[in-house]
Amino acid sequence: MPDTRPKRTRTFEDVLAQLERRIADDGLTAGDRLPAERQLAEELGVSRSSVREAMRVLETLGVVTSQVGRGPDAGAVLISRPDHTLTDLLRLHLGLASLEPREVIDTRLMIERWAAARAASAGADTTALAVALAGMDAARSAEEFVEHDTAFHCAIADASGNRLIAAFMRSLRDSMRRHAVEAVEQLGDTTVLRAGHVRILAAIRAADPEEAARAVADHLADAYPSLF
């Protein structure tokens, strides 16, 4: 009899590991195309959102480049083999699980202040930030709010244009989510948090790096008052 029990949803880190094995096992090299998102999701038995997040990480690391299209033109193109880069990122992610909240927030403060200032100086595209903000407005639970909140903060790192910073921020996802859900539940009201996000977005759009950095610092202080 087939196993009809629901499968546990894999995180994007599991999908990354599977993709790395597939690239190695299939002998793919630069210029080869990976299957389309839908096909990968079906073959790996995971959600398309998990595949999408994994592909974003691979693109950030310079392993693949995104391709938009259908049929033979669908899917991402491999531009370099992951080698040890991906393994190192996963090892970093696993190691972060044992960090104290203070350590995680201190690291976020340093990274995000710099990233927000850089994004503002560069006149970065803020579309992803606005989409994440809209998602937070529509959220119906702390977990759903934090999912979009995390996307917002990762988008700040992306907007900085520094791929290593973006990859590091994505490797902090689980630690960020765990502390963030607790913080939202303790606050009970996301009004202050939303105001902080709006202020950060406005500063980046206004190309004001100093205000963007201050807005990030003030926002994290509002989100984690016990740590500031």
pLDDT tens digits for 135-165? 999 998 888 898 899 899 999 999 999 988 8
User: What would the mean pLDDT of 39-50 be, rounded to a whole number?
Assistant: 86
Q: Beta strands of the chain (E only): which ranges?
A: 64-65, 77-78
Q: Nearest 5°: phi and psi at 155?
A: -65, -30
Residue 67 near residue 76, CB atoms below 8 Å? yes
Residue 119 near residue 204, CB atoms below 8 Å? yes
Range of lowest pLDDT (8-12, 51-55, 128-132, 188-192): 8-12
Q: For residues 59 and 78, what is the distance between their CA atoms, to the nearest angstrom?
A: 9
SS3 content of the chain, % helix, strand, coil (to 5): 70, 0, 30
The residue with tokens 């995104």 is 66
Domain chopping of the chain, boundaries: 12-85, 98-227
Q: For residues 92 and 205, what is the distance between their CA atoms, to the nearest angstrom?
A: 32
Q: Nearest 5°: phi and psi at 28?
A: -70, 145
Q: For residues 47 and 37, what is the distance between their CA atoms, to the nearest angstrom?
A: 10
Q: Which residues, 6 or more positions from 208, have their beta carbon under 8 angstroms from its beta carbon?
A: 120
DSSP per-residue codes, 7-22? PPPPPHHHHHHHHHHH
**Fold of the 12-85 domain:** Arc Repressor Mutant, subunit A (1.10.10)
Residue 174 near residue 88, CB atoms below 8 Å? no
* Mean pLDDT for the chain overall: 81
Q: CATH for 98-227? A: 1.20.120.530
Q: Which has the closest alpha carbon to 36: 65, 74, 71, 78? A: 74
Question: Residue 167 in 3-state DSSP?
Answer: helix
pLDDT tens figures, 46-103: 888 888 888 877 776 677 887 655 555 566 888 766 555 555 555 555 555 567 778 8
Tokens standing for 218?
Answer: 């003030």
The number of beta carbons lying within 10 Å of the beta carbon of residue 26 is 10
Question: Residue 87 in 3-state DSSP?
Answer: helix
